[in-house]
Amino acid sequence: MAKTPNILVVDDEPQMVNFLRTVLEAVSYKVETAANGQAAVERIQKEPLPDLVLMDVAMAGLNGLETLERLLEIRPGVKVVILSCVSDPRTVAKAIRLGAQDYLPKPFQEADLEAVIQRVLGHCSAWPEVAGLLENAEEVGDDLYFLAAAESMRKIRGQVARIARADVPVLILGESGTGKEVLARLIHKLSPRCDQTFLKVNCAALPSELLESELFGFEAGAFTGAIKAKPGKFEQCDKGTILLDEIGEMSPALQAKLLHVLQDGEFSRLGSRSLVRVDVRLLAATNVDIPRALASGSLREDLYYRLNAFMLTLPALRERREEIPLLLRHFMSRFAARYARDPLPLTPALVNAAVEYPWPGNLRELENFVKRYLILADERQLVEELQTRFVGAVVPSAPAPAATKPGNGDLKSLLRSRKDEVEIKAIGEALQHTHWNRKAAARLLKISYNALLYKVREYRLDEGSRRPPLNA
């Protein structure tokens, strides 16, 4: 007959203790309680050892993390799950580093609690190998965090620590959605300009003429509708840091003006002959293929060499899969609080499916996945969607025409089939040729970017199809 697990609940809030006791005893667990960290330390020195300790972080006297450290010094084998209403990745990281088995954010549902207990007591962790990987989780502002669990991300964090204080431009490369803005904010935070303004400008969001006025400002009467003078982002960001995102989409003429700002620290507003001097640190980000952009002239060589005094390249999420469990937990806690919902359990099946999926949209796609799960609350559907996308994401190298016989289909269906085969082949070759830069592929195919994205989804074309599964 299986032994009934004994659980020690440590919390200085009587209501939470009573709630946990009621829930746990209802499913036949044995429950002991301790009203504070010191009481937990005294209990852990006695026999028998609890099978699991559920402990709050925010307690008077010894807090949860301090108590955790003491418990593991006395009983290295004790299993502890940390409970907290503070959704801070740094707290998670420290708890795991100290030796906690898992972390459950408050408020939680009974199903969440049961799932965590089953994982820990059943030796089935949904967070594989995170204890030795969580080296850093740093807030950079606007509810954004720089998480470094993978070795490649820890190296980038070390490079940022060295270059942030050197007041030179930095070029940040990486696929769309890999976290280039987060990295730029980290550079700003660690720089001497950290108390000054940080601004981000998306160069792909505005036509060239509007982008110039947005960056450099204009005088009254400079163009129709310019009723009064307006300073640009560079003036607003004086003494601070500006991030020019998607700089590869900026027109060559505007790139020349930007180069002048980098070299001399001055520019003129639209409609003005006088010069404005500014002291701004420039960070630039792009997902374009640099050699191809230089060869085509879409990126000026002189600007590129001025920008790449330091160049940082963010790896795609599929190249740092060990971060996915922590990111799932972080996004679930963050969005549950934002949408005033209870966090949903992240089961081993869901986490494993997420780890195996290639995430062509990187962090942005992962965020949307968590939001979708939080709204639908249907784990099975979400797991099936990931598996279907992964299996169906194949770029055929050369689709062979299907054999046809009289009566095998009408002419309209036959023509549609041939059209699809030709489109799949053309789009697949363009994506491969541009190293999966979708904007470059759209230009090569002479179709709009949105049209290409629609076709990619329609035909289930996916960059992850050219990479093997995680355990291949």
Average pLDDT, the chain: 81
**For residues 431-444, b (16+ Cβ closer than 10 Å) or e, as one string?**
beebebbbbbbbbb
| Rg of the chain, C-alpha, whole Å | 27
Distance CA 355, CA 368 (A): 15
Distance CA 50, CA 157 (A): 39
Q: According to the model, what pLDDT value does residue 426 have?
A: 83
Q: Which residues of the chain fall short of a pLDDT of 50?
A: 1, 123-136, 392-409, 412, 463-472
Distance CA 178, CA 180 (A): 6
Domains of the chain as residue ranges with CATH:
6-121 (3.40.50.2300), 151-313 (3.40.50.300), 318-390 (1.10.8.60), 411-466 (1.10.10)
Give the relative orientation of helices 324-338 and 362-376 as an angle to the nearest 10 degrees. 50
Q: According to the model, what pLDDT value does residue 399 have?
A: 36
Alpha carbon distances (Å) from 37 to 64, 86, 91, 96, 205: 7, 18, 17, 18, 53
Q: According to the model, what pLDDT value does residue 338 have?
A: 80
Q: ∠ CA 329-144-456 to the nearest 5 degrees? A: 75
